[in-house]
Structure 1
Amino acid sequence: MDTVIGVIGGSGLYEIDGLENAAWTAVETPWGTPSDEILTGTLDGVKMAFLPRHGRGHVHSPTTVPYRANIDALKRIGVTDVISVSACGSFREDMAPGHFVVVDQFIDRTFAREKSFFGTGCVAHVSVAHPTCPRLGEACLEAATAQGITVHNGGTYLAMEGPQFSSLAESKMYREQWGCDVIGMTNMPEAKLAREAELCYASVAMVTDYDSWHPDHGEVDVMDIIQTLSGNSTNARGMVARLPALLGTERPPCLHGCDRALEYAIMTAPEKRDPALLARLDAVAGRVI
């Protein structure tokens, strides 16, 4: 199988440098219109696809991002490996603004989003005990290190609904009682949907601020975030440019089973499955249905 790297760019990352035969392509999905057209091309001989999570011009809030359409569209065009890049706040002194964190765990506090491709007529339960792919995470860690970025290996990401930032009480609770490392608004349900679609998924969180817990920094300042985003986006593009050489042109089966997540997940008996829902699942679950 050919490797096709899909990059979902968050705040501050709106393009991939150096793509050959680059073209923006509209992809239709049964789950609605994705955040934007998808930029496709090749980089060092490896097929690439880039989707701006908020749309060019940042038109979608974290709540209104069409997460199901985005993941379906990437799977539909043949993406095998998804790299999520997003801005985040930090709960740790040593995870400073400008640093990157290769996330490996999530706490999902979102509540206003559709979180599954499955439902009445075709029920499925996938495991997200380990919601990111270690192979992809290691590649991101190596690429970020080679780029000269201060990068942390592993961290728990608190996904909040937004669009407002945390209150001081919330920030302290997430940090002190829940043991979270970073906070953001967009990695959920994205990671869950990628698992349902049997896509390997890695999350790279780019620290922009210390949230509101830090006694020397006070509340989150949007102007400071924007300034940090500029440097982060430059580093992110450099990191992404190094991934094709690390992942290669041939994609072997995932050693961690991400590409077989639906193997035993569908619970609804075949004769009870809703044909209309099955038709919508053609891309994400076609292998098993």
Structure 2
Amino acid sequence: MSETSSAVGIIGGTGLTTLSGLKITGARTVETPWGAPSSELTEGRLDGQPVVFLSRHGNPHRIPPHEVNYRANIKALYDAGVRTVIGVNAVGGIHPDMGPACVVIPEQIIDYTWGRAGTFFEGDLERVTHIDFTWPYDKAGRDVLMQAATAHEVSFAGFGVYGATQGPRLETAAEIRRMERDGCDLVGMTGMPEAALAAELGMRYVCLGLVVNRAAGKSDHVITMEEIEAAIEQGMSGVRQILEVSMAGLGALMALPQPS
């Protein structure tokens, strides 16, 4: 297996348009049958592990969540040989234990988005294809991230249901109350269809979330960009530490059978 085909894919979200610890070996601008991905593919090594990094919102940060070309992003990584993907997401905390700067490694997702191109299986098909999406996040990958967080003493929540909303606006307090009744612990705008597309291609996919604000109605003040930026500055170091420490374990997953 070539070095590129053994690479771990990292999709950076808000607050992670670049990865400072990445020793860059090259960068490529690519095209897919679904158009261009959000950014060039940056190839390199992180703690010795080959990595392909992609900035979800572009670099500079310019593509809103509902306009991200998720199909192109996932297909570009797949074509680069990536079979394990870590999606880094900035999220709002609904669960009381998920306050600003908290790192979350969720286990489930509920999709509230609409109108997004969310499948590779459409158009001129020979047959209809349905994937099993019971467990949207790969268990082995989640275990590696949680072990890395524990080893590096990064405080994290190893549970949670991610509610994916349309954006780009933030949610109303009533919407958050509804999501809480549905069982959501955190809210974000980029979790879907990214996870489902990775599943369609048989890739391992794990979410590494950073809480950047209390969700609407969960604090006594309005949500401000200053609050979000402060939480990113405080918490992103923990995200980077988890990524760096987890690379060897994520690389070792390449030798295991891909999820069915």
Shorter-chain TM range is over 0.9
Deviates more, 1:107-116 or 1:242-251: 242-251
Quick one: distance in 2 between partners of 1:76 and 1:98?
Answer: 34
Residue by residue over 1:154-204, the C-alpha shift from the partner in whole angstroms, topping out at 9 and shown as x without a partner, is: 2100000011111111111111x1121000000100000000011100001
Match of 2:159 in 1: 154
What 5-or-longer segments of structure 2 have no aligned partner? none
Specify which of 109, 127, 145 is matched with residue 150 of structure 2: 145
Change beyond 3 A, Cα 1:250–1:174: closer
Counterpart residue number, 1:194? 198
- Give the secondary-structure state (helix, strand or coil) at the position aligned to 1:84: strand
Determine if contact 1:105/1:130 at 8 Å carries over to the other structure: yes
Secondary structure class of the residue paired with 1:103: coil
Summarize deviations over 1:195-243 as a string: whole Å, max 9, x none. 00111000011111111122x4333222101111112222222211112
Is this contact kept in 1: 2:101–2:210, CA < 8 A?
yes
Structure 2: how far apart are the matches of 1:217 and 1:20?
A: 43
**In the alignment, is residue 90 of structure 1 matched against residue 93 of structure 2?**
yes
Partners in 1 of 2:65 and 2:106 — Cα distance?
18
SS in 2 for 1:7: strand
Provide the identity percentage. Answer: 35
Letter of the aligned partner of 1:61 in structure 2? Answer: P
Q: Which has the larger radius of gyration?
A: 1
> Which residue of the other structure, out of 62, 77, 81, is the alignment partner of 2:84?
81
Matched, 1:26 2:29: yes
Q: Distance in 1 between matches of 2:253 and 2:111?
A: 33
**Alpha-carbon distance between aligned partners in 2 of 1:210 and 1:45, rounded to the nearest angstrom:** 36
CA distance in 1, matches of 2:205, 2:185: 19
Check the 8 A contact 1:91/1:213 in 2, yes or no: no
The TM-score with structure 2 as length reference comes to 0.93
In structure 2, the partner of 1:163 is 168
Provide the rounded CA distance (Å) in 2 between the counterparts of 1:195 and 1:120.
19
Separation in structure 2 between the aligned mates of residue 89 and residue 67 of structure 1, nearest angstrom: 21
Task: Measure how far apart 1:25 and its partner are.
Answer: 1.2
Correspondence for 2:235 among 208, 216, 232: 232
Match of 1:89, SS state, is: strand
2:34 aligned partner, one-letter code: W
Change (3 A) 1:134 1:73: same
Query: 1:1-289, aligned counterparts within 5 Å?
Result: 1=1, 3-122=6-125, 123-175=128-180, 177-214=181-218, 216-248=219-251, 251-254=254-257, 257-258=258-259, 260=260
How many pairs does the alignment contain?
Answer: 255
Task: After the TM superposition, list the runs of 4 or more consecutive aligned residues in structure 1 that deviate by more than 6 angstroms.
Answer: none
What is the TM-score normalised by the length of structure 1?
0.84
Q: How far apart in 1 are the matches of 2:109 and 2:253?
A: 29
Alignment partners' CA distance in 2, 1:45 and 1:120? 41
